[in-house]
Amino acid sequence: MLKGLRFQKRLRILPGLRINLSKSGASTTIGPRGAGVNIGKDGVTTNAGIPGTGLSYRQKVGGGRGWLGIILLMAGLAWWAFQNRDVIAPYLNP
């Protein structure tokens, strides 16, 4: 019908947790800005990038070739945790 029409909406549930809604379905993204794991109907995808630059790397996980995406994701998560250590410290201390 309206083949060129696109729809996309992201709902922030918690810091680092988003639900993505589009014309083709829903998915969930976990991770901070610049690094994340997307879980949707097409599988699991990792994404790591440098916010504000437009540079990013995206790769589907599986098939034995997803290690680079996972390593970049973990590096991005570590960098985010380092930058926001004051915010996450209350959650880590009992």
Residue 37, domain member (yes or no): yes
Q: Which is it for strands 25-30 and 17-22: parallel, antiparallel or unpaired?
A: antiparallel
Residue 91, domain member (yes or no): no
Alpha-carbon distances of 31 from 22, 23, 24, 45, 85, rounded to whole Å: 19, 23, 22, 12, 15
Residue 51, domain member (yes or no): yes
Split into its structural domains, the chain has a count of: 1
84 pLDDT band, cuts 50/70/90, is confident
Q: Which residues contact 37 (CB under 8 A, 6 or more apart)?
A: 29, 30, 31, 44, 45, 46, 47, 61, 73
Residue 67, domain member (yes or no): yes
Residue 68 exposure: Cα atoms within 13 Å on the Cβ side:
7
Read off the pLDDT of residues 21-62 as tens digits, 9 standing for 90 and up.
888 888 888 888 888 888 887 778 888 888 788 888 988 886
Residue 66 has pLDDT above 80, yes or no: no
Residue 17, domain member (yes or no): yes
> Residues of the chain with pLDDT > 70: what percent?
83
Residue 3, domain member (yes or no): no
Residue 94, domain member (yes or no): no
Residue 92, domain member (yes or no): no
What is the pLDDT, as a whole number, of residue 6?
82
Q: Which domain holds residue 40?
A: 8-85
